[in-house]
Amino acid sequence: MNRGARGGNPRLTHPLVRDGRDEPLRRASWDEALDRAAEGLRRGRGAFGMLACARATNETNYLAQKFARVVMGTNNVDSVDRRSHAASVTGLAAVFGSGGGTSSYGEIEHTDVVVMWGSNARVAHPVFFQHVLKGVHRGARLYAVDPRRTSTAEWAEGWLGLNVGTDIALAHAIGREIIQAGLVNEAFVERATSGFEEYRALVEPWTLSLAQKVTGVPAPAIRELAHAYARAERAQICWTLGVTAHHNGPDIVRALIDLALLTGHVGCEGSGLQPLCGRNNVQGAVDMGAVPHRLPGFQDVLDPDARLRFESAWDTSLPPHYGLNLAEMFEEMETGGVRALYCLGEDPAPVEARRLKALDFLVVQDMFRTSTAELADVVLPATAGWAESEGTTTNSERRVQRVRRAVDPPGEARDDIDILCALARRLGLAWEYAGAEAVWNELRSVSPDHYGMTYRRLEAEKGLQWPCPNTGGVEPPYLHGRLWADDPALRGRRAPFGLVRQVPPVDLTDERFPIRLTTGRRLDSYNPVGQSTSSRRRGEAVELCPEDAERYGVVVGEKVRITSRHGSVVASVWIDTALRPGLAFTTLRLPDHGDETNQPSSTTRCPIAGTAEYRATAIRIDKLPLVTYVG
Give DSSP secondary structure letters for 74-142: ---EEETTHHHHHHHHHHHHHHHSS-S-SS-HHHHTT-SEEEEES--HHHH-HHHHHHHHHHHHTT-EE
What mean pLDDT is predicted for residues 165-182?
98
Low-confidence winner among 203-212, 226-235, 398-407, 529-538 (lowest mean pLDDT):
529-538
Q: 46 and 118: one domain?
A: no
pLDDT of residue 374: 97
pLDDT of residue 385: 83
339-349 per-position pLDDT tens digit:
999 999 999 99
Residue 599 pLDDT exceeds 80: no
Nearest to 447 by CA among 284, 299, 286, 293: 299
pLDDT of residue 527: 47
* C-beta of residue 247 within 8 angstroms of C-beta of residue 612: yes
Q: 340 and 260: one domain?
A: no
**Which of 434, 450, 466 is at the close of a domain?**
450
Q: 97 and 241: one domain?
A: yes
295-314 per-position pLDDT tens digit:
999 999 999 999 999 999 99
Cα angle 521, 526, 528 (rounded to 5 degrees) comes to 90
pLDDT of residue 469: 96
* CATH code where residue 598 lies: 2.40.40.20
Residue 625 pLDDT exceeds 90: no
Q: 348 and 422: one domain?
A: yes
* CATH code where residue 365 lies: 3.40.50.740
Q: 139 and 192: one domain?
A: yes
Q: 266 and 301: one domain?
A: no
Residue 471 maps to a domain: no
Range of 139's domain?
84-275
Residue 484 maps to a domain: no
pLDDT of residue 600: 35
CA distance 570 to 554: 14
CA distance 2 to 532: 9
591 pLDDT band, cuts 50/70/90, is very low
Q: 263 and 293: one domain?
A: no
Residue 630 pLDDT exceeds 70: no
CA distance 74 to 68: 6
What mean pLDDT is predicted for residues 445-453?
97
pLDDT of residue 279: 78
Do you find a cis peptide bond into 546, omega within 30 degrees of 0? no
Measure the N-to-C terminal CA separation of the chain; round to a whole number of Å: 45
**Which of 275, 299, 317 is at the close of a domain?**
275
Residue 461 maps to a domain: no
Q: 235 and 111: one domain?
A: yes
What mean pLDDT is predicted for residues 201-223?
98
CA distance 206 to 556: 41
What mean pLDDT is predicted for residues 411-415?
97
Handedness of CA 16, 12, 328, 305 (dihedral sign): negative
**Which of 221, 249, 275 is at the close of a domain?**
275
What mean pLDDT is predicted for residues 600-612?
45
* CATH code where residue 148 lies: 3.40.228.10
pTM of the model as a whole = 0.90
442 pLDDT band, cuts 50/70/90, is very high
588 pLDDT band, cuts 50/70/90, is low
Q: 135 and 184: one domain?
A: yes
What mean pLDDT is predicted for residues 302-331?
96
Residue 562 maps to a domain: yes
Q: 122 and 269: one domain?
A: yes
Residue 167 pLDDT exceeds 90: yes
- 121 backbone φψ class: left, alpha, beta (φ>0; ψ -120 to 50): alpha
Q: How many CB atoms lie within 10 A of CB 622?
A: 14
% of the chain exceeding 70 in pLDDT: 90
587 pLDDT band, cuts 50/70/90, is confident
What mean pLDDT is predicted for residues 149-175?
96
627 pLDDT band, cuts 50/70/90, is low
% of the chain exceeding 90 in pLDDT: 80
Low-confidence winner among 171-185, 244-258, 496-510, 589-603 (lowest mean pLDDT):
589-603
529-571 per-position pLDDT tens digit:
444 444 455 567 999 999 999 999 999 999 999 999 888 889 9
47-73 per-position pLDDT tens digit:
999 999 999 999 999 999 999 999 999
Q: Phi, psi at residue 582, to the nearest 5°?
A: 90, 0
Q: 157 and 233: one domain?
A: yes
What mean pLDDT is predicted for residues 198-218?
98
Residue 493 maps to a domain: no
Q: How many CB atoms lie within 10 A of CB 10?
A: 12
CA distance 521 to 588: 7
6-54 per-position pLDDT tens digit:
556 899 999 999 999 899 999 999 999 999 999 999 999 999 999 999 9
Q: What is the total count of domains within the chain?
A: 3
Nearest to 624 by CA among 579, 567, 563, 564: 563
Residue 229 maps to a domain: yes
Residue 480 maps to a domain: no
Mean pLDDT, all residues of the chain? 91
Do the bridges between strand 378-381 and strand 361-366 make them parallel or antiparallel, or are there none, so unpaired?
A: parallel
pLDDT of residue 82: 62
Residue 177 pLDDT exceeds 60: yes
Residue 626 or 488, more confident: 488
What mean pLDDT is predicted for residues 397-401?
95
Q: 223 and 124: one domain?
A: yes
Nearest to 518 by CA among 169, 129, 276, 163: 163
Residue 371 maps to a domain: yes
Residue 83 pLDDT exceeds 80: no
